[in-house]
Amino acid sequence: MPFKGSTAAGPGFNYSNPMETFTGTENIESVWRQAGNVRTTYTALSSAKNSVQLSYLAGVDRFQQEGWQYAPNYMQFEPADGFLGTSNQVNASSFQMNQNVNAVWTYSPGNKWFTSFTTSVGGSYENQALNQYSLRGRGLLPTRKIALGAQDLAITQGLTEFRDQSYYVNEQALLLDEKLAVNAGFRADRSSANGDRAKFYAFPKFSGSYRFVKPVFDQIDELKFRGAWGQSGNRPRWADRDVLYADGGLIGGGGSLVSASLLGNTGIKPEVMNELEFGADATFLGGRLNLEFTRYQRQIKDLLLTYPLPPSSGLGSQVINGGQLSVLGTEGVISAVPLRRGNLEWTTRLIYNTNAQFTDNIPVPAFNTANSFGASYGRNRIAPNTRTTMIWGNAPLGVNNAVRDTILFDSNPVHTTTLNNEFSWKRWSLSVLADWRNGGYVANMTNNLWDEGGQSRDFVANGKTRFETFNKGDIRPYIQKGSYVKLREVTINYQASESLAKKIPGASSLRFNLSGRNLAIFSDYWGFDPEFNNFGNSNFNRFIDLAPFPPSRQFFFSVDVGF
C-alpha cells in the first residue's frame, strides 16, 4: 500500500477517505482556445449632409478541452462490484463562426428640429458546433491507467450543431436639437433548429426618449424619460424538431433501434418574448452622480415546453409550443464618483434588481418539470396562474395533516444587488466586485445526506430532529434560505509607461493584470454554496444542492501588449 498513517483506508467516512482520495486519484485537464476576428470598413460617401459606410465583421472561436481522471483499484470508495479501478477520458471540441455585413446611411439636414436620420440594414450568419465524448473503463489491472483492456467499457457522445441566419432594418431619428430620439426596426431570423428551417420569423421593435437639460436647478444636469417595446426570439434546442431513435439493445444477436424517450416536433418554432419597459435617468453634479430607474414587463409566448406523455404511449415526453410566461421586474442603478482629487479617483456603481415570474396559461394540464428528485426533495411545477419559481414538495398540510405535494417556498430571491468599486491612482487601478442575494430558498440535499449518516456538524442539536421530520414526509427542514454576500472578483491593473512598452519591438502599450475570482462568501446557509445547481444551466429546478465539490477560487495573471 502506498499510503501510511492517516491517509490509509479507514479514517474519514465509511464510504471514502478524503485524504486518500486527494492523494491517490489523478485529475488532469488541458484547454486550448483560439479566437480571432477581422473587420473591414469602407466609406462609400461622405459629405456635409450625407454619409454611407459599409462594414464586414467575421470572427472564429475554437475551443478544445481534454480531461482525464484515474482512480486506482485500492481506493476506499470503490464499491464491491468486481470492477476495481476506473479511468475516464472526457473530450470536448467547440467551433463557432459568425459573419456580419451592414450598411449605414446617415442624413443630417443641419437644423435643430431635424438633427439626423440614420438608416441601417444588414445581415448575419452564425455557425456553432459542439462535439463531446467520454470513454470510461472500469475493472483495471494494477498500474494500468487507460480504459483499453478494462472489464467494463462505456462510451458516450453528444453532438450539436446550429446554423442561424438573420437580416435587419433599423431607423433612428434625432429631433428637436437631439432632445427627442425615436427608433424603429425589425429583425428576421431563421435557424436549423426550427421545425421549418426555411421560414423567417420577424421581430419588430420601437423605442423613444426625451431629454430635459438643466430642467430645474443647475445641480441637475439632465433628466431623461424613455420607453421601449420589442420582440425577440429564442430558438428551440438542438434536435427538438427531430424524431430520434435510440439503441434498443441486442435482438437475436443483432442491434436494434427504438423510439427515443423524447419525441421531437417537426412543427416546433421559436419562443417569442415581448418586452415593454419605461424608465427615467438623471444626471447630477457635472456627471458625478447618475440615477437610473426601469420598470419592465416581459411576456414569453409559444413557450418551449417538455410535456410528459402518458406511460402507455411508450414515450417519455414531447417538446411543444404553447402557453405564456410573464416576468414583472424593477431595476435601479446608482453610479457615483465620490472622490476625485489629483491622480486619485473612486467610482462606485450599485445595481438593484427584483422580479417575479408567472405562468399565465398553458395548453396542457399542469405538470412537473424535468430534472428533479421528486416531491420528496422539492421541484418546480408548471401550472396556470402560479409563479414558476415556487418550490413544490411534500409536507403534512392536507386534511388531518395528511402529506401532500404543495407549494412550500419561493426559490426566487427578494432581490439581487451588485456593488462595483473602482479606484485609480496614477498608473494603478483596483476593481472590487461584490454580489448580494437576499432570500431565495434552496433544497439542501447535502444537509439531508449528512444528517442521514449522522455526520452533520449540528446533528446532535438539530440534525436528528431534521431527519426524523423528513422521514415523516416533511421536506421543509431541508428547504433553506439561500441568502449570501460574495466577493465575486478583485482585479489590480498596472499600465506601464510608453517607454517601457516600446522596449518590446513594435509595441505601443503594455499592461499587467492580476485578478482573483470567487474569493469569499458570507452566508448562514448550511452547505458549501447556495448558488450551486445540481442540474446545471437549466430553466427549472435551479435550487437543488446535492453534494457539490467546494467552489474553487481562481487567480489569473495576464500581460496585455498593444501594437
Q: Pick the closest to residue 119 from 144, 102, 140 (CA basis).
A: 102
Buried b or exposed e, range 72-87, using 16+ CB within 10 angstroms: bbbbbbbeeeebbbbb
pLDDT of the residue at 550: 77
| Lookup result for grid cell 430571491 | 413
CA distances (Å), origin 416, targets 26, 206, 266, 355: 38, 29, 39, 9
Q: Pick the closest to residue 421 from 347, 518, 494, 486 (CA basis).
A: 347
DSSP assignment of 460-508 equals IIIIHHHHHHHHTT--GGGEEE--EEEEEEEEEEEE--HHHHTTSTT--
Task: Assign 562 to helix, strand or coil.
Answer: strand
Element housing 411 (H / E) = none
Nearest-angstrom CA–CA distance, 181 and 203: 21
Burial class, 222, CB count within 10 angstroms (exposed 0-12 / middle 13-18 / buried 19+): middle
pLDDT of the residue at 15: 66
CA distances (Å), origin 71, targets 15, 138, 179: 15, 10, 67
pLDDT of the residue at 9: 47
Contacts of 16 (CB under 8 A, 6+ apart): 75, 76, 77
Each residue's pLDDT tens digit in the chain (563 positions)?
Answer: 343 444 444 443 456 777 888 888 888 889 999 999 999 999 999 999 999 999 999 999 999 999 988 988 888 888 878 888 899 999 999 999 999 999 999 999 888 899 999 999 999 999 999 999 999 999 888 888 888 888 888 888 888 999 999 999 999 999 998 999 999 999 999 999 999 999 999 999 999 999 999 887 778 899 999 999 999 999 998 888 887 777 777 787 777 777 777 888 899 999 999 999 999 999 998 889 999 999 999 999 998 888 788 877 777 788 889 889 999 999 999 999 999 998 999 999 999 999 999 999 988 888 887 777 777 888 888 888 889 888 888 888 766 667 777 888 899 999 999 999 999 999 999 999 999 999 999 999 889 988 988 888 888 888 899 999 988 888 899 999 999 999 999 999 999 888 888 888 888 889 999 999 999 999 999 888 898 888 777 777 788 888 887 778 999 999 988 88
CA angle 86, 140, 84 (to 5 degrees): 65
Sign of the dihedral through C-alpha 70, 75, 79, 85: positive
Buried b or exposed e, range 234-270, using 16+ CB within 10 angstroms: ebbebbbbbeeeeeeeeeeeeeeeeebebbbbeebbb
- Are 275 and 326 spatial neighbours (Cβ–Cβ below 8 Å)? no
Q: Pick the closest to residue 538 from 331, 379, 329, 406 (CA basis).
A: 379
- Are 484 and 531 spatial neighbours (Cβ–Cβ below 8 Å)? yes
CA 432 to chain centre: 22
Task: Give all strands (DSSP E) within 342-389, no chain letters.
Answer: 344-361, 367-368, 381-382, 386-387
Q: Which three cell numbers stand for residue 453?
A: 449518516
DSSP tag of 318: E
For residue 533, the one-letter residue type is N
